[in-house]
Amino acid sequence: MYESLKKNMDNFHLYIFAFDDLCYDILEKLKPEKTTIISLKEFENEDLLNVKNDRTKAEYCWTATPSSIYYIMTKYKVVNCTYIDADLMFFASPEVLINELKKHESVLITEHRYSKLAKWYEKKRAGRFCVQFVTFKNNKAGMKVLEKWKGQCIDWCYDRYEDGKFGDQKYLDDWPENYDNVHILKHLGGGVAPWNIQQYKIKKEGNSYICTHIKTRQKFNMVFYHFQYVKLLDNGYIDIGWHNLSKVVVKNLYLPYLKRILKIEGKLKEVNPNYRTHYSGFKPESFKDLLKVLFKKITKFNLIKSRKNLKWHIL
């Protein structure tokens, strides 16, 4: 994500929150340009610490999302702050997305734009909007939305659907109705992801990707792709998720991304031999989890690659 952002955008500063000591140690040794590394000890406050033991690691990360934005806005007094997920890769400058914000607008959010199958499976749980690229202006209107969201995530932020809530994400569903300063991103290139890529045809032109919406024939430049769910497994394979990904998408997007990730992984191990990013694999913990595994096997949507030669394998 960092390397692709640096390649496509000159004027940026990335604030990286290191949620464990190993991550902080590696980043401090690397000292990447245009970044500020923030340790968990430096960032955590009483509100976060009070709920930390009640949340899983993932839930705690979600809980901390609005708090991390608030921390940057208040400590570093930035004019605006954009939260971005670490599993994004940029193919063009995101300035075109942020520039959609008008003078009277203070918050930018992105829709999932689900494909038909993903919409049936995901929308109720994950919501209309995705916390992948969210911009706040540092003004009264922007801070009002941010502070409300921060308090909501402290109060409730779990990896389950309950009373219209899910993680940090479902709270965003109400923003367009509750606030008149929230802008829903129009550029389709901001937020191309495995849950909506089925709607588009993609064509590589140099280092850029030109997408065409199959139904409307609308053409647009891909600004970033969200590589959600990619997991390096201990058994030597890479899980790229359950969504239906075409050979064109896997060849042009996933394989170059995975090759880059594996190359970076080697460098990080040189910096600190304790570096490890692998998952042991998916272990069904409920009947619902078991159904997910069966669904993957039946549909062959969950494509696995060998880490050694990145050849195709089916789970």
What phi, psi does 203 have (nearest 5°)?
-140, 125
Instruction: Please give the pLDDT value at position 272.
Output: 93
pLDDT value at residue 306: 46
Q: Is 60 exceeded by the pLDDT of residue 73?
A: yes
**Which pLDDT score is estimated for 299?**
45
Quote the pTM value: 0.89
Mean pLDDT of the chain: 89
Residue 90 CB partners (closer than 8 Å, separation 6+): 1, 4, 5, 7, 8, 9, 223, 224
User: What is the mean predicted confidence (pLDDT) over 96-121?
Assistant: 91
Please calculate the CA angle 45-51-53 and round it to the nearest 5 degrees.
Answer: 110
Domains of the chain (ranges; CATH) run 2-192 (3.90.550.10), 229-314 (no CATH)
Would you say 15 and 72 are in contact if contact means Cβ atoms under 8 Å apart?
A: yes
Number of Cβ atoms within 10 Å of the Cβ of 181: 18
Q: Is the pLDDT of residue 100 over 90?
A: yes
Residue-wise pLDDT tens digits, 271-288: 999 987 766 655 555 666
pLDDT category, 227, cuts 50, 70, 90? Answer: very high
pLDDT at 235 (0 to 100): 67
The yes-or-no verdict on residue 292 having pLDDT over 80 is: no
As a whole number, mean pLDDT of residues 118-138 equals: 86
